[in-house]
Amino acid sequence: MSEQRVFQIQLEGLIRLLAQNLYADPDVFLREMIQNAHDSVTRRAELARDRAEGAPPAPRISVEVDRAAQEIRIADNGCGLTDAEIDAYLSTIGRSGTNELRERIVAADRNRTVELIGQFGIGLLSAFIVADRVSVVTRAAGHEALRWESDGGREYSVRPGHRENIGTTVILHVRPEHTRYLDSVRIKHIVRTYADFIGVPVYVNDDAQPANAVTAPWHRTYAAEHDRFAAHRDLWDRRFADETALHVVVVDEPFSFPDAEAPGGERTGRIRGVLAVTDRHTPDVNARGTVDVYISRMFVGAANRDVLPAWARFMQGVLECNELTPNAARDSVRHNAALVAVRRTLGDLIVRELTQLSENSHRSFTEIMRWHAHHLLAMAVQPEHERFFRAVADLAVLETDQGPMAVGHYLRTAERRSDGVRIIHYITEEASAKQYMLLAGARGVRVFDCTEAFAERFLKKYAETWPERARLNRLDEAGAEALFEPLDAGEAARFTPLERAYAAMFADRSVTARASRFEPAALPAVLTETREGKRRREMDVLAADAAMPAAIRDIVQDFLAEADEPLILHLNAANPIIRKLAARPSLDDEVGRSALQSLYNNALMLLARTLPADAVHTMFTQSSQVIDLMLGLAEQVAQGSYAEPADAVPAPRQATYLSCSVTLPEGEPRSEEIFAAVRSVLEAKPYYWQVLRADSPSADPDLPPDLDAPPAHAALNVAVFAGPRLNQGLVNEVSISQILGQPQLILCDEGHPALPASFADVPQQTVHGLGAVLRKGVRSGLAEHPEVNRVRAYERYLSPSVLAWCAGLEESVGEAVSRRYPTWSEFQEADSADVARAVDIDVALVEAAKSGLRLLAEED
Amino acid sequence: MPRESARRAIDLLIGESSDLNAADRSVQALAVAERAVLAAWRLGDADLLVRALATQASAQRLLGENSAAMVSYIEVVKLAKDPRNADALADPSAVRAIGRPSNSIRPSTGPGSSAATYAD
Ligand SMILES: Nc1ncnc2c1ncn2[C@@H]1O[C@H](COP(=O)(O)OP(=O)(O)OP(=O)(O)O)[C@@H](O)[C@H]1O
Ligand SMILES: [Mg+2]
C-alpha cells in the first residue's frame, strides 16, 4: 500500500538562497524590477483594449534612489494588482501572471505578437539580492491601494496602502552591504545596460530625460533608407567605441524553425539589429564573433558567441530576436531549434553581404580581407560556401614575399605556360620559407606564403575549380626545379668533380650535391629538403630520446636505416666561387676541404635560421677562416671574371628611390638612439633616402594595399652593434648579407665587445656620444662608404622628417603624405587639393610644403 | 612522456606512408605502414592502430592486393566496434579512418598551427 505525501518545504531562507544563487551579477535585480514594470504597463494597455476603454496614460517607469531612507523605489503606471492577484502571482514563486496572460492572448489570436517579457514567475525574488525587505504598494483599477510586504521569509503581509494613481511601486529596503546601489549614476548605468530598448522611458530621480534610449533603431520607423542605416550604424559605433566598423549590415531577416506544437510544425520569426565587420584583428581565434543579444526588448547578455556561426569571428553586433529563449537567470540563450536556425540565417546573410561587397566594391572587400584573411579563407574553403568562394577567389589576399597580394593580381602577373595556364608558386614550411623567398625573389618569381592554415587549401581549391587558369607549384616539395635551372651536359661535366667531392665528404649519403644555375648569383650554395626528409630528421631526434620504449625505437631505427632521402645541396654554377672551386685541380687539400665544408654550413644555416647560438658561433668561426681562404683563392684566379657583388643581385623592378635597412638588437635603448641618428642623416640632404627598420612589418595596417607602389632600391644594410653583449642574431644577419654580397655598413657603439674577425672587410664606423656628436659619426661612416658614394642617380625619398623641416608637418601627417607620395617628384606633381583631401589637411599646408621643398632643392 | 615521443614517431610513420601513397609509391608506402601498424600494436594505442591499418589498407588496395586490404579493413572495423576503444577513437583523424561521420572541420595543418577547430 502506498500513500501520497507532500514535500515539506522549509521556506525560511530559501527565497534568499535562490535569489543569491540564480543570478551571476547582482545588478540584474533592477532589470527584473523594470521588466515587471514594463509588463505591467503593457498589460494595462491590453486590458484597455479588451474593454474597449480609452487609451491609458503614456507608459512611464521611474526609479528613485533615496539615500536617506536607504531605499530604491521602482514605480510604474501599469495595471496594478488586486488582492487576489497579489496572492496568486506576487506571492507564488514559479507562477507568472504575465505568462498566463500571454498564453490567453496567443490562444485567442495566434498571429498577435505580445510584447510581454516575464515568463518564469521568479524574477521578483531577485529583489532579495540587495534588499532585506521588499514592499509593494499597488492599486488596480476599481480597487483600493494595498501594501504587500515580505522579508524573504515564509510569511508576507498585505494591508491597506496609500496610492493615488493606478500602478505599482516596488520599494527595496537596501541591505547595508549593498548601499553602493544608492547611487543614481550607477543606477542609470544599469538601466542603460539592461533596459535601453525596453520601449518605455525610465526616469531616474528627478531627471527630465529618460536614462534609456527607449527604443532600438529597429523599432523605429524612418522616412528614408539612409536614415535607417545611419541609426543602426550609430548604435554600433557607440556600442563598440574602441573598434571601427569596416562594413555595416542592417539585419532584418525572417527565419523559420521546426516547432512540433505550431500549426504546420513550423514557426517563423525575425532577427533584427546591426552587425559589422570589426577592425579588431584576432590572432586569438576565440576573440570576437560575438553579439549583444536582446529578447523582447530586454538585454539578455553581452558578447554571446552562440548566435553567429563559428567562422564569423570578424563580425560583431547587437541583435534582437524574440523567438530565442533566455534561461531563467536571463543571462544567456537556450540551445534549441530556434538558435540553430538563427545561426544558419545569419551565416547566410553574412555570406550574401560579403559576396555582394566583393562584386560591388573591390576596395572595401580587399580591406576586410586584409584584416581577416584567415577567417575568410577558412570559410571560403568549406563546401557549403562554394558561391562565396567563387565570388571572392580572385580578391582573396594571401601573404607573399612582397607583402599581401590578391590572388587575381598574382595571376595577372604570373608566369604563363604555352597553354595559357598560369603557375602559382607557394611554400608551406615555415622554417625554410625565407630561403625559398630569397631564391624566388631573385628570379623575379613571386611566392605565396602558405604557412598559415587554410592558405594552401584555398589555393588548391582555386586550382581545382579553374584548372584552365592556374596550376600549383609547391616550391618546398618537388617544385623547386622552377628555381634551379638544370645545366646542359657540357657544362654539367665541369661541376662533376665538385659533386664527387661532396659525395666523398658525406659518405653516409645524407647530402647529395647537385650543380644547377640559380639566382641570386652571389649565393654559392643552398640546401633543400623534402617533407619526407624533414620527417626523418624529426624521427632521428625521437629515436635518440631515452624515454622512447625500446620496442618502438627498434621499429623507428629500422625504418631510418633504410633508404634515406638525402638533403640536396644545390651548387650555383653562376657563382664565381663555385666556378673557381670547380676549376681547381684538386679539392682534397686543406683549402678545398674547408671551402666545401663551409659552403655546406652556410647553406644549412640559410635553410633553418633557428640554430642554437653556439652552433652559429662555431659555424661563423669556421666560415670566417674559409672566407679568408677564399680571398686567397680568388687572388690566384684572374680578376676579370669576378662580378661586382652589387651587380650580381639584380633589382627585380625599376627602383625610383633609395632605401636603407637598419638592423638593430631588440630592446637595446642605445641602438634606438643610433637608429634615430641614421634617420636624421640619411633622410636629409644630400641623401634623401628612405630609412627602414629591418624588423618593421612590410604591410601598413592603416592603408589598403597599393600593389603598384614604386619600389625602393635597397642600397644599403646598416647593422647597429650596441649594448653590453655581442648579439648573435645580428652577427648572423651580417654574415648572411656578407655571403650575399649585399652592401652594408656596421655602426658599432664605443665600448661594445669586439666584432668577429670575419667582418674585417665590412665597412665599419665606431660611434659615440649623443645628438650632433653621434650624427657626425654616422655621417662620416656613410660618407666613406664606397657603395653609398656609388649610387646617386635616384629620386629623392620624401620622408616625414623632411616634411617636418620644410613645412612643419606633424609626424603622423608627414607619414601619411610620405606613404602616398614616396618621392619628391610625385608629391610636386600631385594635385594639391587631392593631397589635402587624401591626408585630411588644409590645401595651404600642402602648398607650403611644396614650396618649402622647392627652396630646399634650390639650395642643393 | 615516453608515450608521447612514441606516439609522435608512429604518427610520422603514418604521415610518411600516406604521402608515399599519394606519390604513387605504394610499395614503399606499404612497407612503412606495416611498421606503423606493428609499432601502434606494441604501444597498444587504438587510435594510432586504426589509422595505421587504414593507411596500410589503402596501400594494399593501390597495389591490387584486395583481399589483404579487406583483412586490414576488417581489423579497423573490429577495433572500432570494441567499446573499450570508444574514447581513444573519438579523435577526428581516427574517425576519418573509420569512416564514421564527423561534423568537425579541422584545418589540414601540422602541429603548432594557430588554426582553430571549427565545430558547428
Ligand atoms: N510592477 C508590477 N505590476 C504588476 N504586477 C506585477 C509587478 N511586478 C510583479 N507583478 C506580478 O507578479 C508576478 C511575478 O513576477 P516575477 O517577476 O516574479 O515573474 P514574471 O515577471 O512573471 O516572470 P519572470 O520570472 O520571467 O520575471 C508577475 O507575473 C506579475 O503578475
Ligand atoms: Mg518578472
Q: Helix/strand/coil (H, E, C) string of A185-208?
A: HHHHHHHHHHHCCCCCCEEECCCC
- Grid coordinates of A766: 665606431
Is residue B120 less than 8 Å (CB to CB) from chain A?
Answer: yes
Nearby residues of A538 by Cβ (< 8 Å), 6 or more positions away:
B8, B12
Ligand 1 centroid, distance to A32 Cα (angstroms): 9
The CATH class of A14-204 is alpha beta
Beta-bridge partners for A333 = A326
Chain A CB contacts of B48 below 8 Å: none
Give yes or no for residue A77 CB within 6 A of ligand 1: no
SS3 state at A775: helix
Whether cis (ω within 30° of 0) applies to the bond prior to A686 is: yes
Size of interface A-B (CB pairs under 8 A): 80
Sheet with A156-160, edge to edge strand ranges = A156-160, A146-150, A131-139, A167-174, A71-76, A61-66, A202-204
Task: Of A364, A269, A360, A349, give the one whose Cα is nearest residue A315.
Answer: A349
Q: Is the ipTM of this complex over 0.90?
A: no
How confident is the model at residue A653, as a pLDDT?
A: 39
- B105 interfaces chain A, CB cutoff of 8 Å: yes
Inter-chain CB proximity A311 and B118 less than 8 Å: yes
SS percent in chain A: helix, strand, coil, step 5? 45, 20, 35
Taking CB atoms and an 8 Å cutoff, what residues of chain A touch B22?
A: none
For the sheet with A657-663, list strands across it.
A690-693, A657-663, A712-721, A744-749, A764-767
Which ligand 1 atom minimizes the distance to the CA of A36?
A: 8
Q: How far apart are CA A612 and CA A845, in angstroms?
A: 53
CA of A92 to the centre of ligand 2 (A): 12
Please indicate whether, in this complex, the C-beta atoms of A453 and B13 are within 8 angstroms of each other.
no
Residue B98 predicted with pLDDT over 70: no
Q: Inter-chain contact B35–A454, Cβ cutoff 8 Å?
A: no
Return the pLDDT at A442: 78
- In this structure, which residue's CA is closest to atom 7 in ligand 1? A36
Asked if the peptide bond before residue A520 counts as cis, ω within 30 degrees of 0, the response is yes
* Those residues with Cβ within 8 angstroms of residue A544's Cβ, 6 or more apart along the chain or in another chain: none
Q: What angle do CA A168, A172, A175 make, to 5 degrees?
A: 175
Strand-pair partners of A40? none
CATH class assigned to A217-365: alpha beta
pLDDT along chain A (860 residues), means of 10: 54 62 80 93 88 87 95 96 88 79 77 76 85 94 92 83 94 93 93 90 93 89 93 91 89 93 87 90 58 89 82 88 84 88 92 86 82 83 85 84 83 86 87 77 84 85 92 78 84 90 83 86 78 75 82 84 75 84 77 80 70 51 57 47 38 63 84 89 85 62 38 77 83 73 87 85 89 89 81 78 80 84 86 86 85 78
Query: Measured between CA atoms, how close is A336 to chain B, in angstroms?
Result: 14
Q: Are residues A294 and A334 in contact, defined by beta-carbon separation less than 8 angstroms?
A: no
Domains in chain A: boundaries:
14-204, 217-365, 393-482, 484-530+565-633, 659-859
What's the pLDDT score for residue A72? 97
**CB A548 to CB B2 under 8 A?**
yes
Residues of A with CB below 8 A from B118's CB?
A: 310-311, 378
A551 touches chain B (CB under 8 A): yes
Residues of B in contact with A547 (CB under 8 A): 1-2, 5
Query: A572-586, A590-604, B45-59, B97-111: which range is least confident on average?
Result: B97-111
Residue B13 contacts A, CB cutoff 8 Å? yes
Rounded-to-integer distance, Cα A408 and Cα A706, Å: 14
CB-count burial class (<10 Å; 0-12, 13-18, 19+) for B31: middle
Give me the domains of chain B, ranges plus CATH numbers. Answer: 3-99 (1.25.40.10)
- For ligand 1, whether the C-beta of A81 sits within 6 Å is yes
Is any atom of ligand 1 closer than 6 Å to the C-beta of A97? yes
Are A556 and B115 a contacting pair at CB < 8 A?
A: no
Of ligand 1's listed atoms, the one at least distance from the Cα of A170 is 1
Using a CB–CB cutoff of 8 Å, tell me whether B24 touches chain A: no
Superfamily designation of domain A484-530+565-633: Heat shock protein 90, C-terminal domain (1.20.120.790)
Assigned CATH for A393-482: 3.40.50
A535 in reach of chain B (CB within 8 A): yes
**Chain B contact for A383 (CB, 8 A cutoff):** no
Of the candidates A382, A453, A549, which has its C-beta nearest B115's C-beta? A453
Q: What is the pLDDT of residue A618?
A: 56
- The answer to whether the Cβ–Cβ distance between B107 and A543 falls below 8 Å is no
Per CB-CB distance under 8 Å, the chain A contacts of B12 are 535, 538-539, 542
With contact defined as beta carbons under 8 Å apart, do A292 and A303 qualify?
Answer: yes
| A539:B12 CB<8 A | yes
Do residues A596 and A502 lie in contact, with contact meaning Cβ atoms separated by under 8 Å? yes
Answer yes or no: CATH 3.90.930 is held by domain A659-859.
Answer: no
**Whether A422 contacts A414, CB under 8 Å:** yes
H helices of A608-719, in order, are: 613-636, 645-648, 669-682
Q: A239 alpha carbon to ligand 2 midpoint, in Å? A: 26
Residue nearest to atom 6 of ligand 1 (CA): A36
Q: Tell me how close the Cα of B55 comes to any Cα of chain A, in angstroms.
A: 16
**Is A393-482's fold the same as A659-859's?**
yes
Ligand nearest, relative to CA of residue A82: 1
Look-up: residue for cell 677562416? A625
Distance A342 CA to ligand 1 centre (A): 29
Backbone phi, psi, residue A356, to 5°: -60, -45
Distance A151 CA to ligand 2 centre (A): 18
| Torsion, CA B72, CA B75, CA B77, CA B78, rounded to 10 | 170
Q: Do A285 and B114 touch (CB under 8 A)?
A: yes
Tell me whether A560 touches chain B (CB under 8 Å). Answer: no
For the Cβ of A682 lying below 6 angstroms from any atom of ligand 1, the answer is no
Q: Distance (Å, rounded) from C-alpha A700 to C-alpha A127?
A: 53
Collect all residues of chain B within an 8 Å Cβ-Cβ radius of residue A477.
none
The reply to whether residue A542 touches residue B9, judged by beta carbons under 8 angstroms, is: yes
Please state, in angstroms and rounded to a whole number, the distance separating the CA atoms of residues A348 and A748.
59
* Shortest alpha-carbon distance between residue B13 and chain A (Å): 8
Ligand 1 neighbourhood includes A36 CB (under 6 angstroms): yes
